[in-house]
Structure 1
Amino acid sequence: MPDVVKTGVDGLDSILNGGIVRDATVLVSGNPGTGKSIFGIQYLYEGVTEFDERGVYISFEENAEDIRQAAESVGFDRWEELVESGDIKVYDKRRMLREQDFTSAVDGLLEDFSSDEYDRLVLDSLTMFQLFFDDEREKRTYLLKFSDVLKQYGLTSLLINEQGAMFPETEIGLENFLTDGNIYFIQTPTDSGVNRYIWVAKMRKQDINTDIFPLEIGEGGITVYEQAGGFSMMGKNESPF
């Protein structure tokens, strides 16, 4: 059995047969509002409070105050305390985007990674990260470099990827080749709002359940209902695709 890192999300670790393989890099995709950022926050928060594993949150889209408010909105009231203690290190958009080029931004990250020991990392989002680059070749070079850096420093990482479509876009891009797993967050409209689902499509070195499962976001973050497949909530003959 491989050494795994528990996500701390009720139900998801069971689907993953224990958690994410240590040092793996996982692509987390979905359209806005599906719960991807809350998942990243929960992964780091539970990592510190439940498993004594320190984490790094890199955001190209939000400032530190926005991230704190998102954490506290689902009951992670110790978020600011953990940031102040250094157990969670936040690089927000003001810090990441103040550099004139990507190399300078990454050099700052490497300096901190080498001086402090962290176990978990969340990048929010890979979509914004890729805007640093002027051409496809440069983007590929630095994505490869960044992926290698994460593994070099022993980080088990979530790379959040924004999608515009309602349902998963599963075409194979470079980011799919660089990552060890793919998790999709899905939402479908209903008369009263939306239903949310999670689909673990791939995890290298792991025996996983690849069904689609419903999830809820509330106090305490995300809960996945592993005993109820997504299709059962939408009707026996309906599919979310």
Structure 2
Amino acid sequence: MIEQTKTGIDGLDDILNGGIVTNSTTLISGNPGAGKSILCLQYLYNGVEQFDEKGIYLSFEENESDLRQAAESLGFDKWPEYVDNGDIKVYDKQVLLRENDFSSSLELLLDDLEDDEYDRLVLDSLAMFELFFEDETEKRTYLLKFTDILRENGLTSLLTNEQGAVFPDTEIGLENYLTDGNIYLIQTPTDTGVNRYVWVAKMRKQNIETDIYPMEIDWGGIKVHQNASAFSMMSEEESPI
């Protein structure tokens, strides 16, 4: 039996057939406003609230106070309590970007990453993380090193990836090869707002539902609906996996 880590997100664990493979890294991709950071907040919050699993949030884009406000605005009322008592450890951009290189920032994290006390990790986002590096070779080296460290220390991790287009690009990036799973969050404009969807494109070691499912963001965070969407995003030949 493959051990799985439940996200606790309504409907998402169902299409994952139980949850994310424990001790894996999953890429959460989407265009701005698609809900990537919300999913990550919810993943760590549910870890503490529902499963007694502590988490680490690495934010290269937000301050700790901004994350706190975002969490509370979604109804994650105990977020400040969990951060204050150490159930959720936040490294925000003021801390992570204080150093001039990733090696220095990694030194700040290693004690917590190697601590068996933590089970879940979020890195938000890879686009900002990659600003540490001058060329593709250096980025490749450190991204591989970092994902290896996460796996070696038993962390089940989500890494967010900014995507300019509404639909997933068919170009395969390095991060797609280094992660165990790919989840796309999609939003399409309508006359009255936006429609939101989730597509689990890849999960190594497990069977998943690969249809596109409607989702909504409301009080309490993300909820995925079980009625698969009627449209196909791309043909099998165009699929990036």
TM-score surpassing 0.5? yes
Question: Can you give the 5+ residue segments of structure 2 that lack an aligned partner in the other structure?
Answer: 235-241
SS at match of 1:230: coil
Question: Can you give the 5+ residue segments of structure 1 that lack an aligned partner in the other structure?
Answer: 232-237
Q: Counterpart of 2:67 in structure 1: which amino acid?
A: I
- Partner residue in 2 for 1:156: 156
Separation in 1, partners of 2:44, 2:91: 14
Shift of 1:58: 0.3
Separation in 2, partners of 1:201, 1:88: 28
Shift of 1:170: 3.4
Shift of 1:171: 1.9
Q: Deviations over 1:134-189 (max 9, x none)?
A: 01110000001001000011000000000111111232111111100000000011
Identity %: 68
Shift of 1:112: 2.3
- Partner residue in 1 for 2:61: 61
Separation in 2, partners of 1:196, 1:58: 25
TM-score of the superposed pair, with normalisation by structure 2: 0.95
Separation in 2, partners of 1:170, 1:89: 35
Q: Deviations over 1:33-91 (max 9, x none)?
A: 11110000000000001000000000000000110111111100100100000000000
- Partner residue in 2 for 1:90: 90
Map 1:145-184 → 2, pairs under 5 A:
145-184=145-184
- Partner residue in 2 for 1:41: 41
Q: Counterpart of 1:130 in structure 2: which amino acid?
A: E
Shift of 1:113: 2.2
Task: Name which of structure 1's ranges 93-102 and 115-124 shifts more when overlaid on structure 2.
Answer: 115-124
Separation in 1, partners of 2:108, 2:170: 33
- Partner residue in 2 for 1:234: none
- Partner residue in 2 for 1:140: 140
Deviating 4+ runs (over 3 angstroms): 238-241
**Kept in 2: contact 1:25–1:158 (CA 8 A):** yes
Q: Counterpart of 2:183 in structure 1: which amino acid?
A: I
Separation in 2, partners of 1:108, 1:224: 36
SS at match of 1:170: coil
- Partner residue in 1 for 2:17: 17
**Kept in 2: contact 1:188–1:240 (CA 8 A):** no
SS at match of 1:119: strand
Separation in 2, partners of 1:46, 1:11: 14
**Kept in 1: contact 2:212–2:232 (CA 8 A):** no
Separation in 2, partners of 1:229, 1:114: 40
Q: Give the total of aligned pairs.
A: 234
Separation in 1, partners of 2:3, 2:232: 34
Shift of 1:239: 4.4
SS at match of 1:206: coil
Q: Deviations over 1:185-216 (max 9, x none)?
A: 00011000000000000000010000000001
Shift of 1:111: 2.2
Separation in 1, partners of 2:112, 2:44: 17
**Kept in 1: contact 2:5–2:19 (CA 8 A):** yes
- Partner residue in 1 for 2:210: 210
SS at match of 1:107: helix
- Partner residue in 2 for 1:32: 32
TM-score of the superposed pair, with normalisation by structure 1: 0.95
- Partner residue in 1 for 2:237: none
Separation in 2, partners of 1:116, 1:5: 16
Separation in 1, partners of 2:54, 2:105: 21
SS at match of 2:134: coil
- Partner residue in 2 for 1:191: 191
